[in-house]
Amino acid sequence: MDDVAATATGIYNQILDIIGGIEPRIAGAIRSELTDQRGSLKLIASENYASLPVLLTMGTWLSDKYAEGTIGHRFYAGCQNVDTVESVAAEHARELFGAEYAYAQPHSGIDANLVAYWSILAHRVEGPELERLGAKTVNDLSEEDWEILRREFAAQRVMGMSLDVGGHLTHGFRPNISGKMFHQRSYGTDPTTELIDYDKLRADAKEFKPLILVAGYSAYPRRVNFAKMREIADEVGATLFVDMAHFAGLVAGKVFTGEENPVPYADVVATTTHKSLRGPRGGLVLATKEYAPSVDRGCPMVLGGPLSHVMAAKAIALAEARTSAFQTYAQAVADNAKTLADGLLKRGVRLVTGGTDNHLVLLDVRDFGLTGRQAESALLDSGIVTNRNSVPNDPNGAWYTTGVRIGTPALTTRGFGAAEFDKVAELITGVLKNTTPAMTAAGAPGKAKYLLGEGVADRTKAEASEMLDAHPLYPGLDLS
Ligand code: DSN
């Protein structure tokens, strides 16, 4: 890997000179982003550091090719190399996850989820409706028939985890199209344990009868039992759709196996490729053979032309994820999250659900007298990058929040282990204990501004630097 870094040093320095000759501010921002990423404790649970081969693969002329359509069936000439790229990415995805079918085109996680929703609608609603109307494709439908089909689409129901207990905004949240397109009902968590209550979920699903049952989360610090989710989906005739964007790396790395692995249980699985999976920014959909034909219509159904350069980088990342080194990494991500959670608990921080068994930890900061926003900002001032997040029944709403979400994928990539994550817990607690809300003009604690104790930020940054210097990001890559 040192050879790769040495070669990349030459490549990046030359490329940045070229870029800087055209627009120096862009070259400056690229350099500065590396400095920032190297110099802070990156604890955003959805971020990671892709390998240099993955990053380098994205910067090629594959970007210049239009290739709408599917492998071997494109709406443009000259797509033979994109066919190779997409086939290799899909092959690695199928093999890695043991999936019957993989679709590598989605540009992001939200796009992947949209492909999933519309392919389920195409399979479950459009297909039977076309058959009933004696039409082969939607092009054969009269305007009146179209009106019927449109009404059928709009009548469908989706049930996903509520945003405030850790679901994602694409799981039926009103401001997202998933909350506007479907009749929607959320499932929550048990008010005492803060864990998914499968019995209540089952009862709610029986009453609501969703077409699509969504499992998956972006801020729930626990594993999900997908066998139970499958049982519930079967009992109500729902398609089981799993959004594994956050934990795909733990599935790929064989940390989540058996009933915790969604792939054998779900009809359709969507993911991002850049979170715990540690690939380029993008999306991926896996499906059973039954759903494959409709997923394959993702473009033009909801996607434009694929980003061939990113699909190539997905292939490289997926190949990397098929190694035993990646399995070691994924296990370390989970082990480190447990260490981080234990370190916070023993220092008196309340954690939603009382801990973690995946890659993320959700802190409830109300006992420090802070909002999530104040905690996030004070931590950032101290060189610790996190994001504020709602906690169940959050009294501060989705903007200020009462929680802070942190995760271990990125710093585990840098080589942080148990000792470092316990230290991270100490640094976070130290900042929170030394932050107070600033008072409003009316003399009440405000929700945004805060006061950080004297010297706390500098001391925390200095202690973080020692660990960061010992575990450099892209060691051997020298852009000075
Ligand atoms: N932005 C992602 C996350 O942070 O979880 C989800 O969209």
What number of residues does the chain have? 480
Question: Tokens 């399995």 — which residue?
Answer: 327
Q: Is 46 in the pocket of ligand 1 (CB under 6 A)?
A: yes
Each residue's pLDDT tens digit, 52-75? 999 999 999 999 999 999 999 999
The Cα–Cα gap between 142 and 10 comes to: 61
E runs forming strands in 343-393: 350-351, 360-364, 384-385, 387-389
Predicted confidence band at 480 (pLDDT cuts at 50, 70, 90)? confident
Average pLDDT over residues 165-179: 93
Q: Which of 47, 111, 168 to mutate to test ligand 1, by most ligand atoms within 8 A of the CB atom?
A: 168
Each residue's pLDDT tens digit, 110-130? 999 999 999 999 999 999 999
- Annotated catalytic residue, options 31, 38, 185, 281: 281
All structural domains of the chain: 63-321 (3.40.640.10), 324-470 (3.90.1150.10)
Q: Could you write out the DSSP letters of every residue in 135-195?
A: -SSGGG--HHHHHHHHHHHHT-EEEEE-GGGT--GGGT-TTSHHHHHSEEEEE-B-TTT-S
Each residue's pLDDT tens digit, 318-344? 999 999 999 999 999 999 999 999 999
Q: Is 261 in the pocket of ligand 1 (CB under 6 A)?
A: no
Q: Which of 43, 46, 274, 401 to mutate to test ligand 1, by most ligand atoms within 8 A of the CB atom?
A: 46
- In 3D, which of 123, 112, 110, 108 has the Cα closest to residue 156? 123
pTM of this structure: 0.97
- Mapped onto helix, strand or coil, the DSSP state of residue 216 is strand
Each residue's pLDDT tens digit, 71-80? 999 999 999 9
